[in-house]
Homo-oligomer: A and B are copies of this chain.
Amino acid sequence: MVTEYKLVIAVRKDLDLGKGKIAAQVAHAAVHCALQAEKNDKQNFRKWTDQGQRKIVIRVDGLQDLYRLKEEAERKGLINSLITDAGKTQVEPETVTCLGIGPADAEILDLITGEFSLL
């Protein structure tokens, strides 16, 4: 069976962000993770790119979930990127909005993020 690769981005639903704002925050996380992987995790990056750069956006209840997910991602040695918004619109300055994890083997990611629903 072919191993699937994906990048998961977890978004806080408690902030109740507008869809344009969410999209920009998720894009920040995706770009950060992709650039990190390209530099430091070339093998996963290439496989993910060959498979079309699959991205999955999930929702979490709040900040604590993002911190917990980040901790678990680091424990597994996965690339991750926590995004803090400058907060000029919609949220207070320095609000943590989302977390990107990967790109990585989808099965390993599912161990961490599988419990959460799609946004």
Contacts and interface: CB of A to CB of B under 8 A. Distances in A.
Interface in A1-43: 9, 11, 18-20, 22-32, 34-35, 38
A40 to B, nearest CB: 14
- Chain A interface size, as a band, is 20 to 34
A100 to B, nearest CB: 9
A52 interface: yes
Q: How many copies does the complex hold?
A: 2
A44 interface: no
17 contacts: A9-B23, A19-B23, A19-B119, A20-B57, A20-B118, A20-B119, A23-B26, A23-B57, A24-B26, A26-B26, A26-B27, A27-B31, A30-B30, A31-B34, A34-B34, A34-B35, A35-B35
